[in-house]
Amino acid sequence: MSNLNPEVTAHNTPKVVNASNSKKGRINDYNKTKLDQVIEYNANKYDVSPALIRAIIRQESNFNTLAVSPKGARGLMQVLPSTAKNYGSYDLFLPHHNVEVGSRHFSRLMKKYKQLPLALAAYNAGEGNVSKYNGIPPFLETQKYVLNVLKSYNAGLDKQIYGIDIQSQSDGSKVLVEQSVIGDKTIEIIKAPKVLYFSIDR
């Protein structure tokens, strides 16, 4: 994610994960229960959907507490230290600290933009770039980021509301256990050069 510096862009920010060849930093079943409690608590505290926080974490770090980007974004929600300083003192490799500051920051973005895609774009590319381009910036990474989080968020809500889950097949593909009642509400938002604004009707 970007910090509050309007000059920061989403370009060249592939995630680099420390200890990528080991299980260190990965959330196990026991820690997942604790993380779920942390997510629920902070989602309620900062008025953000828990399913959305999980979708952001999945996209940002794939639940690796030690994930670090080349720009220095850290932890589950890939928070920059400079961003965290705007909210207090945090150890960004501790899940409860990271999720708290990440949720708090994203909540502020939601209140500012009032549209989920724009808030996600600002989380990824920075508020300055959303202002500069008057919408989702024309960065492929950011456009894919917004689309992927929305898809994950929709899938998470479908599972929560209808018990619909996604399972892995032997060939590595993913399929729904049953057809979603809601249906796929995500649309292609990466038809350059202009990007459609899209909000989820939940």
The residues assigned a catalytic role are 60
- CB of 180 closer than 8 Å to CB of 158: yes
127 burial via Cβ count (<10 Å: 0-12, 13-18, 19+): buried
Gap between the Cα atoms of 201 and 194, Å rounded: 22
Dihedral of the CA atoms 139, 166, 27, 141 (nearest 10)? 0
Residues ≥6 apart with Cβ < 8 Å to 191 = none
Q: Does a cis peptide bond (omega within 30 degrees of 0) precede residue 193?
A: yes
Altogether, the residues listed in the chain come to a count of 202
- Residue 94 phi, psi dihedral angles, 5° rounding: -90, 125
Gap between the Cα atoms of 81 and 85, Å rounded: 6
Gap between the Cα atoms of 25 and 75, Å rounded: 9
